[in-house]
């Protein structure tokens, strides 16, 4: 298998690859062994060329005239994305959302292991959720250094997100996923990703309105 071409890979490609992995897993469970780009595209809601193109950034994984072997393709994609390993993750802010994420099974299944959780609320410190004991945020930087944690999840209120980020950065973290609806600043070498599903609600609301307007025309 050839190495990843040195070419910038579109963000959108990464997101789609994640979807492909998802759907391939479902197919695997259904006992499907081989799949064509066309069928996979169909179930992922994208164009077949798109799939082939996305995969081409990383190598050749298919067999012409046949398609892709489901298991192999899934493994190949995971490897391409750097997911053929586990990533240690810490969480800052154990509120409603933080708890839900701590209890979420799929994270571990996908290779993201939450190894520690931090909060600044004395009432929450010491509590155990899904086998993780909540610790005082002040311990964060040292802990992440000690445990070699690479990814931090922020689930504090928005006005505390920057502070949480600072702790993480101090702790030598390499990437942050921020669930709080606020922008944070971090050094260049720290990867920051924002999650905000209000966007999706906005989008749905907007599209419903548009549909209705179009309906009137």
Partner DNA sequence: TATACATTGTTAAAAAATTCACTATGCACC
Partner DNA sequence: GGTGCATAGTGAATTTTTTAACAATGTATA
Pairing of strands 34-35, 68-69: antiparallel
Select from 108, 103, 161 the least CA-distant residue to 137.
Answer: 161
- Length of the chain (residues): 217
- Identify whether the C-beta of residue 76 lies closer than 8 Å to the C-beta of residue 59: yes
Tokens encoding 180: 């709080």
Residue closer to DNA by CB (options 9, 195) is 9
Report what 36 binds from ligand NAD, a copy of itself, DNA, none; CB cut-off 5-8 Å by kind. Answer: DNA
| Span of 21-29, 43-51, 127-135, 179-187 interacting with DNA by CB under 7 A | 43-51
Report what 44 binds from a copy of itself, ligand NAD, DNA, none; CB cut-off 5-8 Å by kind. Answer: a copy of itself
Report what 110 binds from DNA, ligand NAD, a copy of itself, none; CB cut-off 5-8 Å by kind. Answer: a copy of itself
Interface with ligand NAD, residue 156, by CB under 6 A: yes
CB count, 10 Å around CB of 75?
16
Cα–Cα dist 37/20, whole Å: 10
Torsion angles phi and psi, residue 136, rounded to 5 = -70, 135
- Cα Rg for the chain, rounded, in angstroms? 20
Binding-residue total with a copy of itself (CB under 8 A) = 58
Q: Which 3 state secondary structure label does DSSP give 71?
A: helix
Rounded least distance, CB 161 to a copy of itself, Å? 11
Select from 177, 137, 135, 181 the least CA-distant residue to 153.
Answer: 177
Among 26, 66, 113, 130, binds DNA (CB under 7 A): 66
Residue whose pair of structure tokens reads 């445990």 in the numeric block:
147
| Span of 30-38, 44-52, 158-166, 186-194 interacting with ligand NAD by CB under 6 A | 158-166
Residues near DNA (CB under 7 A)? 8, 10-13, 35-38, 46-50, 52-53, 55-56, 60-68
- The residue ranges that bind a copy of itself (CB under 8 A) are 11, 14-15, 17-19, 22-23, 26, 43-45, 81-83, 87, 89, 96-97, 99-100, 103-104, 106-107, 110-112, 150-151, 174-177, 179, 181-183, 189, 191, 193-209, 211
């Amino acid at each position: 298998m050839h190495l990843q071409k040195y070419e910038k890979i579109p963000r959108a490609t990464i997101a789609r690859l994640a979807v492909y992995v998802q759907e391939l897993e479902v197919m695997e469970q259904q006992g499907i062994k081989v799949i064509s780009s066309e069928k996979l595209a169909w179930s992922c809601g994208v164009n077949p060329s798109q799939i082939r193109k996305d995969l081409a950034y990383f190598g050749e994984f298919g067999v012409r005239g046949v398609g892709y072997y489901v298991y192999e393709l899934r493994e190949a994609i995971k490897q391409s994305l750097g997911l053929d390993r586990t990533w240690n993750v810490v969480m800052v802010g154990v509120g409603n959302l933080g708890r839900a994420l701590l209890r979420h099974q799929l994270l571990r299944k996908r290779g993201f292991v939450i190894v520690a959780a931090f909060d600044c609320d004395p009432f929450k410190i010491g509590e155990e959720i899904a086998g993780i004991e909540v610790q005082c945020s002040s311990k964060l930087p040292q802990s992440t250094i000690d445990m070699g944690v690479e990814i931090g999840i922020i689930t504090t209120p928005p006005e505390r997100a920057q502070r949480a980020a600072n702790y993480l950065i101090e702790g030598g973290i390499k990437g942050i996923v921020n669930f709080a609806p606020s922008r944070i600043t971090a050094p260049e070498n720290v990867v920051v990703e924002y999650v905000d599903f209000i966007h999706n609600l906005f989008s749905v609301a907007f599209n419903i309105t548009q549909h209705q307007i179009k309906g009137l025309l």
